[in-house]
Structure 1
Amino acid sequence: MDEVKVVVAHSERATLRVGDVFLKVDADEARVDIEVEAMSLAPVPTPQVLWRKPPVLAIAALPGATLGRLGGPSTGSPAAWAAAGAAIRKLHDAPLPPWHGRAGRSSGALAAELDAECALLVANDVLPADLVARNRQVAEAAFRPWTAAFTHGDLQIAHVFLEDDEVTGIIDWSEAGQGDALYDLATFTLGHEEHLDEVIAGYGTDVDLDVIHAWWSLRSLLAVRWLIEHGFDPSARGCEIDVLRSRM
């Protein structure tokens, strides 16, 4: 009997690994619908769906390994990081899915959410007021017109697998949809700024670095309180609070 390993678990969803099978448990059936549909449309390698019986989705493990994780050391050659950038560009150039994703929220709605979250962070002494104010200022650059792309929506470094400097698969598509391409690039390089140039080289087009920095600040500000409430530590070395401090 293979050991059951808890990959991630919180009040919204859980992922277990049993041998070469991942079992994703999600009470939100619509979110799983999006994940399965996005994987079928994406022009990049994705895991094989083995079966689905709500609220459980079973997918096959991918070969290779990730380039690291947020808060941990990064691995892989410059060519591997560039290969990830090229795969992200291929996704962004694909025909749009018929729905909006996490990266597709309107600037007005996002700004209102961010302002409310910043107020809570300061009022509850979660973060210093000057740190919040500076990153809120940096985040302003994300609120600009953008051309919709096919975005992953949660393209953390731990969601992209590579082997021999080639992408073997991208996982966790429940936030996918039409959105801002630079949100994906910023999410992938969050906490690993030293590899941004390599990713952009593989991506193959000019990128507005101010917008990347804005998304780093914005995503981190919105994540800190949620992470604390769900048992994670955004103050760990290299994680969200360090990302916010780097903008000072």
Structure 2
Amino acid sequence: MDEVKVVVAHSERATLRVGDVFLKVDADQARIDVEVEAMALAPVPTPEVLWRKPSVLAIAALPGTALGRLGEPSTASPAAWAAAGAAIRKLHEAPLPPWPGRRRRDPDELAAELDGECELLVTNGILPADLVARNRQVAEAAIRPWTPVFTHGDLQVDHVFVDGDEVTGIIDWSEAGRGDALFDLATFTLGHEEHLDDVIAGYGTDVELDVVHAWWSLRSLLGVRWLVEHGFDAFAPGCEVDVLRSRM
């Protein structure tokens, strides 16, 4: 009998693996609905949906392995990273999904959220003031008007699977919707700056590097406190706090 492996678990959702089946349990049914619809619309390989019931989604495992993991060096080839960039470009060029996206915020709202989070990081003693101030300055370039595209919304590097130099699938679509293309690229390369050129080569168009760098800082600033409060280690080597330190 296959054992049950907890892939990730916190108060909002959990993912379990039993053999070649992943069970996603989510307190927010809307996230499951978005995930299923996004996978049906996305013009890139996605996992097979086996069944769904209220609060639970069962999907089949993808062939291959994750392209990398945050905090660990990636052993994937430059060609694999470029192939991922090409897949991301294909997604961004697809017709917009009919829903707005969970992460869609106007620049003023995003700036206000960021300022509030920066204040909490300092007053709660989570990060030093100079580190927060410098990254808040870098993050400013991401707070601008942008043209919405079909985005994954949570395109962490371990959500992209490859076999050799071929992308076999992209998982975890619950945050998909209309969003900023450079947010996807920044999320994908967070902690893997050395592979950004390969990704851009596969993406095949000019990319505003200062905005990608800004999203690295912005995403990390917004994420550190949540990660700490939910039992994740944002201070581990190569993770969010190291990303912030690299901007100093």
Aligned length: 248
1:238 to 2:238 alignment: yes
Q: C-alpha displacement at 1:106, in angstroms? A: 1.5
Q: Which residue of structure 2 lines up, in the alignment, with residue 20 of structure 1?
A: 20
Q: Please list the CA deviations of residues 22-45 of structure 1 after superposition, one character each: whole Å capped at 9, or x if unmatched.
A: 000001001111110100000000
Q: Please list the CA deviations of residues 112-133 of structure 1 after superposition, one character each: whole Å capped at 9, or x if unmatched.
A: 1111000000101100000000
1:199 to 2:226 alignment: no
Matches within 5 A, 1:84-163: 84-163=84-163
- In the alignment, structure 2 segments of 5+ residues that lack a partner are none
Q: Secondary structure at the match of 1:104?
A: coil
| 1:150 partner amino acid | F
Alpha-carbon separation, structure 1, partners of 2:193 and 2:102: 22
Q: Which residue of structure 1 lines up, in the alignment, with residue 222 of structure 2?
A: 222
Q: C-alpha displacement at 1:164, in angstroms? A: 2.1
1:37 to 2:37 alignment: yes
| 2:156 partner amino acid | Q
Q: Secondary structure at the match of 2:25?
A: strand
RMSD over equivalenced CA pairs, Å: 0.7
Give TM-score, length-normalised by structure 1.
Answer: 0.99
Give TM-score, length-normalised by structure 2.
Answer: 0.99
Q: Which residue of structure 1 lines up, in the alignment, with residue 71 of structure 2?
A: 71
Q: Secondary structure at the match of 1:169?
A: strand
**1:102–1:243: structure 2 CA closer, same or farther, 3 Å change rule?**
farther
Q: C-alpha displacement at 1:179, in angstroms? A: 0.5
Asked if the contact 1:104/1:148 (under 8 Å) is kept, the reply is no
Q: C-alpha displacement at 1:102, in angstroms? A: 4.1
Alpha-carbon separation, structure 1, partners of 2:55 and 2:120: 33
Alignment identity in percent? 83
4+ residue segments displaced more than 4 Å: none
Asked if the contact 1:105/1:179 (under 8 Å) is kept, the reply is no
Q: C-alpha displacement at 1:103, in angstroms? A: 4.5
Alpha-carbon separation, structure 2, partners of 1:104 and 1:196: 24
Alpha-carbon separation, structure 2, partners of 1:103 and 1:82: 26
| 1:115 partner amino acid | D
- In the alignment, structure 1 segments of 5+ residues that lack a partner are none
Q: Secondary structure at the match of 2:149?
A: strand
Alpha-carbon separation, structure 2, partners of 1:80 and 1:8: 25
